[in-house]
Amino acid sequence: MATHTFWGIVPAAGVGKRMAADRPKQYLPLAGKTVIEHTLEHLLAAEIWAGVAVAISPEDPYWPELAISRHPLVHTAPGGKERADSVLNALDYLQDRAGEEDWVLVHDAARPCIAAADVHKLIDALKDDAVGGILALPVADTLKRVSDGSISETVDRSAIWRALTPQMFRYGALRDALRDAAAKGSVVTDEASALELQGRRPKIVEGRPDNLKITRPEDLPLAEFYLKQLS
């Protein structure tokens, strides 16, 4: 039976401007801890990691104050200007530790409600896949295409999914895809899009709807409610 090695990457160098807060959203208080503490604790609860690299801005004063930054499985990597830069920096940080065929799971710092069961569901579905894939949710709402403030058409939602994280790909393939996208100046908003630019077709694994991303202030009480259900 083939053995697999799993690494986590959490890009956490963003500033979260839409929160209009006095600190990056990953450090906002949530149910007695910071957002990122919940995120990392729930990821680590999956108990499958060789290590988890957290990409942090060099000027970040909050991260060193958190006890979880000194967890034996947690590594601090240099953050970048954009998400893709942070992920690539974390991959470079892991280059002497990770093998080309090791799996890397990239997870948003602002998704604190990730369930260990969903991490295992993703791994079980993809560990023998040639490409990898992502957690995602089918869209339930009716979708409208808008031009100049007016609806131009209703979009068929049957083939539309919302991308979640973690997103899981081989170390070497993800590194090469992100490097290639950066060299070409291609905009990638998640890891799957970098693989798509290489002509690959990542798989979809349906995730839980409570795996929300904290983007606006009203997301915090909802996340607190979801965390109570996870505990």
Whole-number mean pLDDT of the chain? 94
Judged against a pLDDT cut of 90, whether residue 164 lies above it is answered with: yes
Is there a contact between 103 and 171 (Cβ–Cβ < 8 Å)? yes
CA distances from 52 to 40, 43, 142, 173, 188 (A): 9, 9, 37, 18, 22
Q: Look at 38-42, 111-115, 118-122, 158-162 and tell me which has the smallest mean pLDDT.
A: 158-162
Judged against a pLDDT cut of 90, whether residue 158 lies above it is answered with: no
Residue 3 burial (C-beta neighbours within 10 Å; 0-12, 13-18, 19+): exposed
Q: Flag whether the pTM goes above 0.75.
A: yes
